[in-house]
Amino acid sequence: MGTISGFVAIILWSTTVALARSLSEQLGPLSAAAAVYTVSGSIALLRLVHSSQRRKQISQIPLKYLIGCGIPFLSYMIALFLAVGYAAGRQQVLEVGLLNYLWPTLTILLSLVVLKRRATVWLIPGTILALIGIFLVLTQGSRVSFGSILENVSANPVAYSLGLSAAISWAVYSNLTRRWAGNTGQGMVDLFLPITAVTLIVVSLLAESGHVWSARSLLEVGFLGIVTYVAYWSWEVSMRRGNFTLVAAASYITPFFSTVVASLYLHVAPTASLWIGCAVLVLGSLLSWVSIGALRDGSANE
């Protein structure tokens, strides 16, 4: 069940970039993020109010987990929305997404240190292929190159820095959740999401104002808010109870689904490069999965 939860999270996350960009264009990055996490945070609070068992489980979570995982969780929430929102255009959204989607690679690499995982030499070509696949998928055959990305960073360093920060933050959170939460039951997502919402509400009120709401923005906020809660709850369950390496490797596929959704929703025309990138990305995922000893993780955790 834990492994399946991870796959559910991956699918749901594929809608994030497209809807976050759409809402940012309508409401502003901070206001959009605050609205989305207000919805997901409210769902989390309702679950806490109606479940004494969940409140008890949270009270048993170690303090180091509350602080050590809470900071990267909050950092990721804010960094991702702002990176997508502050991108200069929809093409740059794909470039920023390239940095954000380094998190699957960083999750596996960081697990070698944090979780003491062992890897074979196949991790090197697996990681390289996965990164190439992500690059091909997110650039969709356009004239974007590593040189142009570096050139663009100087023009919009905030967006690119936030994209990279998001990738690092989520990799840290995923590994520390696995290490510190153990089998204590449901973790702190039900507390982290409301804290994120309150933080963003305060910041958005101070920094943004004057946005006009529409039926479309309300629907998008409602949908993304619900999806956000379900996805993060599912991912945490997967990180603690599922086959860690299988889910982490499968998460390499997230950029493909995300780009497909973004292409359709934001009217960005996909190319053959998207499908080529998908194949390369999946191959890299499998190599990374095997290299880190997924076959020896056992199915007992699934």
Q: Please give the chain's pLDDT, 302 residues, in tens.
A: 778 888 898 899 889 999 999 999 999 999 999 999 999 999 999 988 887 777 777 777 778 888 888 899 999 989 999 999 998 888 778 778 777 878 877 888 888 888 888 888 888 888 888 788 777 765 655 565 666 556 667 878 899 899 989 999 989 988 888 787 655 545 577 888 999 999 999 999 888 776 788 999 999 999 999 999 999 888 778 877 777 767 767 777 787 788 788 888 988 776 677 678 778 877 887 787 777 765 454 333 33
| Rounded Cα distance, 278 and 137, in Å | 6
Q: Are 102 and 167 in contact (CB under 8 A)?
A: yes
User: What number of residues does the chain have?
Assistant: 302
Using CA atoms, how far residue 98 sits from 29, 259, 269, in Å, is 19, 10, 17
Q: What is the pLDDT of residue 23?
A: 94
| Rounded Cα distance, 279 and 133, in Å | 7
Burial class (CB in 10 A: 0-12, 13-18, 19+), 55: middle
